[in-house]
Structure 1
Amino acid sequence: MAEQLKVLNSNVRGLNDGAKRAAVRAFIECMASSIVCLQETKLSSLSDALRLEITGPRYDGHASLNANGTRGGVLLLWQCDAFTAMSLDVRSWSITVCLLPVDGSHPWTITTVYGPHDEPRKQSFLAQLVDMHNSIVGPWMILGDFNLNLDRRWMARFRASLNTSNLHEIPLIGRKYTWSNEQDPPTLVRLDRAFCNTDWEQRFDAAKLLPQSMGFSDRCPLLLINDGIVKTSKRFRFETYWQFVDGFNDVVAQA
């Protein structure tokens, strides 16, 4: 049986308003996920009282990245009756935690990100992704709002960073885009994504992203689940990152 997993990811576009916080809490409780990732909180600080107001008492494991003025802000939460945090790494645009399941299975690492909007910091953000890869051992999954899809040049660099880190995308089922400017005609963009390395994919081999609906943001929340469905055989697909794996050329030569 596939290992159970349920992760909620959402860009909340600010949590400074009481009504907004109540809506976010109701949505989180409805989703009943064991891990919650929130981006663009716009909170310059997070007290225990404010955190409980936003998420309730179920998520007693938590880490936050404060906003820079009114920009950014990331919040990562997990249930301590499901996971124990073995390590925590908070950087300029990300939070990374290595989680040990209480059921005795092996630990794995999750990173949630909120990428910078401005051009000068995007290259530093991509370099940070590669540096994180070099410091993480074992199954790794990274998700969030990367803020790179509006520029083809930066998307190409983003893909190069993913290939260097041996990461590939977890499929989004039932929807191609996660944001719309709600104009006529609309601009439709995929800003929110999830990626994983091979170790993580082998462990959660039925993982997929499901789009959700809610009324407190112009972004589409994503629910990542490992639903236990056994994968059927599929056609061969060459992954670009394979060529960066040690021993790739030897395997090709032998074949």
Structure 2
Amino acid sequence: MNWNVHGMNSPAKRATICQIASSHRVSMLCLQETKIENWSPAIVRELGGSRLQGCAVLPAIGTSGGVAILWDANALDIRTHAVGAYSITAKVVFPSGDPSSSFWLTTVYGPVDDTMREDFLSELTRAAPPMSEPWIINDDFNTIYETRDKSNLNLNRRIMGRFRAAIDRAGLREIKCKNRKYTWTKAPKPGDDVMAVFDHFYSLARGNFSDLNRAMIFLLPKKDRATTVSDFTPISLIHIIAKLIAKVMSMRLATVIDQIISPAQAAFQKKKCI
């Protein structure tokens, strides 16, 4: 499974990743844009559960980038791996021992800064194994080589040409998506801003929740040419994010509250009285 997770510093996000990987019984999980700078065995366990205990990581720089590969040691073996500035390259071997049952894997998260793309493309070329050995790259290159992969005309054709040349030198071919259109665009979808707020809320676990309590005081004039304080009515403008979060939490809690509250305890429950 290959997944650009767009950050996973919150325990809730890591639990979701683990649940999805477990439900699909994946043998290998490749993650990009982890945004985790300091890894620990506890984080690996949160992501991989009891199955995906093997791990190779490229730490993020601050909260930017980051790559990780987790695998099930009972299903396959990573004989060797190399960690670069933008990628991890590993030799994947299956238990059969047949040389034809092995391949090279590179997981990439490319830079978003154009000034760093030359180094990235050079690293991509250097990672190529001998032509006789199979190689697959799963990635977020953060760049494109075909115009149709962009939803607008904001193109850097110089970078596109150099990316295409690097692909050709490495002997790579794109595996096309079937029955759907794929694009590298990051154009926001309706509701993305609200979901970003929820992601930020979960990342505040045991942190500072003061952002949820902020309000803006606006003085509304009672009459024309208002000059003194008594000529204004103060209005507190409060965002509804706290209400949205409280509503979501209450809806999720409603499904289990009857299981976690003892009959001897007093509480408000739907269709019940104290």
* Map of 1:182 onto structure 2: 188
Question: Please, which of 171, 174, 181 is the counterpart of residue 169 of structure 1?
Answer: 174
Say which SS state the counterpart of residue 73 (structure 2) adopts. Answer: coil
**How far did 1:31 drift?**
2.3
Contact 2:86/2:108, CA 8 A, preserved across alignment: yes
**d(CA) in 1 for partners of 2:98 and 2:178?**
28
Contact 1:82/1:103, CA 8 A, preserved across alignment: no
Matched, 1:121 2:116: yes
Matched, 1:138 2:143: no
CA 1:37–1:43: 2 relative to 1, 3 Å = same
Q: Which amino acid aligns with 2:93?
A: L
Q: Which amino acid aligns with 1:97?
A: A
Considering fraction of residues, name the structure with more strand: 1
**d(CA) in 1 for partners of 2:27 and 2:162?**
33
Q: Identify which of structures 1 and 2 has the higher relative contact order when contacts are C-alpha pairs closer than 8 Å and 6+ apart.
A: 1
**How far did 1:176 drift?**
1.8
Say which SS state the counterpart of residue 124 (structure 1) adopts. Answer: helix
* Map of 1:45 onto structure 2: 38
**Structure 1 range deviating more: 39-48 or 101-110:** 101-110
**d(CA) in 2 for partners of 1:148 and 1:67?**
19
Matched, 1:18 2:23: no
Question: What residue ranges of structure 1 are gaps of 5+ in the alignment?
Answer: 1-7, 185-215, 217-255
CA 1:98–1:122: 2 relative to 1, 3 Å = same
**How far did 1:20 drift?**
1.1
**d(CA) in 2 for partners of 1:143 and 1:136?**
18
Once superposed, what is the RMSD of the aligned Cα atoms? 2.1
**d(CA) in 1 for partners of 2:79 and 2:160?**
33
Alignment of 1:42-121 (within 5 A): 42-106=35-99, 107-121=102-116
Aligned residue-pair number: 179
Contact 2:129/2:135, CA 8 A, preserved across alignment: no
Say which SS state the counterpart of residue 136 (structure 2) adopts. Answer: strand
Deviations 1:129-172 (A, max 9, x none): 11111668611111110001363332221111111111111121
Contact 2:107/2:138, CA 8 A, preserved across alignment: yes
**d(CA) in 2 for partners of 1:145 and 1:65?**
14
CA 1:21–1:136: 2 relative to 1, 3 Å = farther
**d(CA) in 1 for partners of 2:189 and 2:80?**
43
Contact 2:105/2:137, CA 8 A, preserved across alignment: yes
The normalised TM-score by structure 1 is 0.65
**How far did 1:183 drift?**
4.8
Contact 2:44/2:55, CA 8 A, preserved across alignment: no
The normalised TM-score by structure 2 is 0.61
CA 1:182–1:169: 2 relative to 1, 3 Å = same
**d(CA) in 2 for partners of 1:92 and 1:161?**
17
CA 1:68–1:160: 2 relative to 1, 3 Å = same
**d(CA) in 2 for partners of 1:147 and 1:161?**
14
Alignment of 1:143-222 (within 5 A): 143-149=138-144, 151-178=156-183, 180-183=186-189
Higher-Rg member (1/2):
2
4+ long deviations beyond 3 Å: 134-137
